[in-house]
Structure 1
Amino acid sequence: MKHGFIPAISTLALSMALSSNMAFAQDYTLRLSHTGAPSHHYQTITEQFAKEIAEKTDGAVEIQVFPSDQLGNQLESVEGTMIGTLEMTLASDTVLSNWVPDMGMLNLPFLFEDMDEYLEVVEGPVGDMLSAQVEDQGAVIIGWWGNGMRHVTNSVRPINKPEDLEGLKIRVPEGKVFVDTFKTLGAGATVMSFGELYSALQLGVVDGQENPPAHIITQNFNEVQDYVSRTGHIHMGSPLIMNAHLFYSMPEDIQKTLLEVGREYDRRHIDLIANLEAEQWEEVAERGMKINDVDKSLFRKAVQPVYDDAAATFNKDILDLLTK
């Protein structure tokens, strides 16, 4: 019988008693939660990952994918993965920053020019140090997957310069850097879960939000937002995490396979997003949203106080590597 997390713990003692050539003899069923809609690239990449893991473990590992926060919002899913009530979550670096504050430095505004720069950083020493901190909280980072550069939408006016954000209520995800960034730019930063966002925009609880184009389309934000300003202000990564106790209870062959495939999908996911975005921007325009680009240098200058605060907040060694 296939099992999830609780039975997997009980197999640890048994696996230690058996010879090492028993790898793949035990079956595992892992639930993987993510926040994207079924049409989002999160679903595409997790389904591909699940299929490849099943193939490379000869069916010993079955990954069941649950989109749209079906197993709980991101905070709940990340916490569940850390304590072991959920096996895997496609998380976000900003949500992880609630447990590992240093993860928040990956969200510093205008830190990365594009997703390639992000991948170069997280696949190096910075990623290794942050992974160790996440593991201290009970989860293993299987892969540093992507999300895309984030852009501001709203129902009031185009955002061409920082001053245009003043007085607007902008929904932001859980994370200090997001809140600080939009407060510094003069907006009312309002934290709420992604699942509540559409209705909040519809009811005027907030004026706008910020996300990559994939979320704009799959969540139909064009129905409740008129303007999208391509600010590219923050990159949010989507680390794939797994409960550490479960991971280390598995045979080494499976551990190795999960990590190898997970890291191969770092690049695969980034490329998938990049290829989709050209078409997505066309669809955003076709849906009637008014698109404008901004002079990022104006915004970079305006958010300097966020960096001043970061120097006093984050691990200096990691921050120095990140910003050198």
Structure 2
Amino acid sequence: MKKIAMSPSRRSVIAGAAAVPLVAILRWPAQAAEFELKYATGQDPTHPVNIRAQEALNRIREATSGRVDIKLFPANQLGSDTDLLAQVRNGSVDFFNLSSLILATFVPVSGITSLGFAFKNYDEVWAAMDGALGDHIRGEIAKTPIFAVSRIWDNGFRHVTSSTREIKTPGDLKGFKLRVPQAPPLTSLFKALEAAPSPINFNEVYTSLQTKVVEGQENPLAIIATTRLYEVQKTCSLTGHVWDGYWVLGNKRSFAKLPADLQALISREIDKSAADQRADIAKLSESLQTELKSKGITFIDVQQDDFRKALATTSFYSEWKQKYGETAWSLLEKVSGKLG
């Protein structure tokens, strides 16, 4: 039997079996899968990335008659996002979906997709990410021990929430203590707008807000809802300051151990779930506002152009153009138009 990932301990197997109905245990042949792999995420089990990922893993198991068994580990069960990035690099985790913003700490150019106020709408996002810019980023990821398994998934446009002041104009951000992920483009963006960004791992966000280490945070609505951040925040300003996506990353050495037909099947099924997940996020963008209002969040409409213009008066765009390079920048501006 070939095992790509470390098998769970006997204790965890027993505990897991006790929680699974007998019919589920008997569905597949008694022998263990030929290929056992781990797929980790940082999101709550109810988030569309986990629902659609699990569907893909079920289809893969079904299509291979149980020969391939990929276990899903949501909600940072195997470590923080930065821990998991290290694990997928060394092969102790086989697949990991990671925000392009955090991937930028390892593959810098991936952060260009979340450049401040670069994309105005989804038409621009998908033209870039399913086109030449996405191809360029995938090529850069593939120069490392990892690779992009499928098209990029949708994390949505990010918005600013607060437990103190209301963020209506760029000036309201001055001195605002804001949690951001371990992502240089976001830290740079909010510093340019004179806020006080604090990089904090996602699994510590709720506590940091609850204890007032920071006043606010910024995330897509689906994240705000599924992680109950509405319990510790009062307002949400619809800034749409960056779009963020999730790359499903695979360990190249681990993936290469699979026969070619299984590699193709896995990529195809994860790619299908990427399309399904994108549609989920699109539908949620409206319904989540209603849901979050019922949970006590007040939404604030802002003039996005005011923020974009304020950013353009700084050195933000010129500095990031230099860091990302002419090739990536020109591919972005073909979709976004002139920046800065």
- The TM-score with structure 2 as length reference comes to 0.86
**Cα distance, 1:212 vs. partner?**
1.0
Q: Give 2:5's aligned residue.
A: 5
**CA distance in structure 2 between the aligned counterparts of 1:81 and 1:119, rounded to whole angstroms:** 26
1:130 is displaced (CA, Å) by: 1.3
Query: Which residue matches 2:111?
Result: 104
Moved more, 74-83 or 304-313: 304-313
User: Following the alignment from structure 2 to structure 1, what is the Cα–Cα distance between the partners of residues 261 and 239?
Assistant: 44
Deviation, 1:6, is 6.4
Task: Please report how far the alpha carbon of residue 175 of structure 1 lies from its aligned counterpart in structure 2 after TM superposition.
Answer: 1.3
Conservation of the 8 A alpha-carbon contact between 2:55 and 2:273:
no
1:315 aligns with 2:320: no
Tell whether the 8 Å contact from 1:115 to 1:148 is kept in structure 2 after alignment. no
1:273 to 281, 290, 308: 281
Match runs of 1:173-188 below 5 Å: 173-188=181-196
> In 2, distance between residues paired with 1:106 and 1:309?
16
Match of 2:254?
246
The code of the aligned residue for 1:240 comes to V
Per-residue deviation, residues 246-292 of structure 1 (Å, max 9, x unmatched) = 11221110111122223333322111111122221111100111111
1:249-264 → structure 2 map (5 Å cutoff)? 249-264=257-272
* SS of structure 2 residue aligned to 1:240: strand
The residue that corresponds to 2:198 in the other structure is: 190
SS in 1 for 2:125: helix
Offset, 1:65: 0.8
Match of 2:29 in 1: none
Give SS of 2:70's match.
strand
Q: Which amino acid aligns with 1:306?
A: F
Which residue of 223, 227, 233 maps to 2:231? 223
How far residue 4 of structure 1 moved from its aligned partner, in angstroms, is 2.9
SS of the residue corresponding to residue 30 of structure 1 reads strand
Gaps spanning 5+ residues in structure 1: where? 8-25
Cα separation, 2, equivalents of 1:112 and 1:52: 34
- Is the contact made by 2:42 and 2:74 (CA closer than 8 Å) also made in structure 1? yes
| CA distance, structure 2, for counterparts of residue 112 and residue 60 of structure 1 | 42
CA distance in 2, matches of 1:95, 1:45: 21
Structure 2 residue matching 1:65: 3-state secondary structure? strand
Aligned mates of 2:143, 2:86 — CA distance in 1: 13
For residue 178 of structure 1, report the CA deviation from its aligned partner: 0.3
Q: Which amino acid aligns with 1:139?
A: I
The CA distance in 2 between the partners of 1:133 and 1:290, in whole Å, is 41
Q: Tell me whether 104-113 or 183-192 shows the greater mean CA deviation.
A: 104-113
Residues 114 and 242, structure 2, Cα contact 8 Å, conserved in 1: yes
Q: What are the ranges of 5 or more consecutive residues in structure 2 without an aligned counterpart? A: 8-32, 335-340
Measured after TM superposition, the shift of residue 227 of structure 1 is 0.8
Aligned residue-pair number: 307
Cα deviation for residue 154 of structure 1 reads: 0.6
Structure 1 position 153, deviation (Å): 0.2
C-alpha RMSD of the superposition: 1.8
Question: How far did residue 2 of structure 1 move?
Answer: 6.3
What are the superposed Cα offsets for residues 208-248 of structure 1, whole Å, 9 maximum, x if unpaired?
Answer: 00011111112211211111101111111101011011112
Does the Cα contact within 8 Å between 1:177 and 1:306 map onto a contact in 2? no
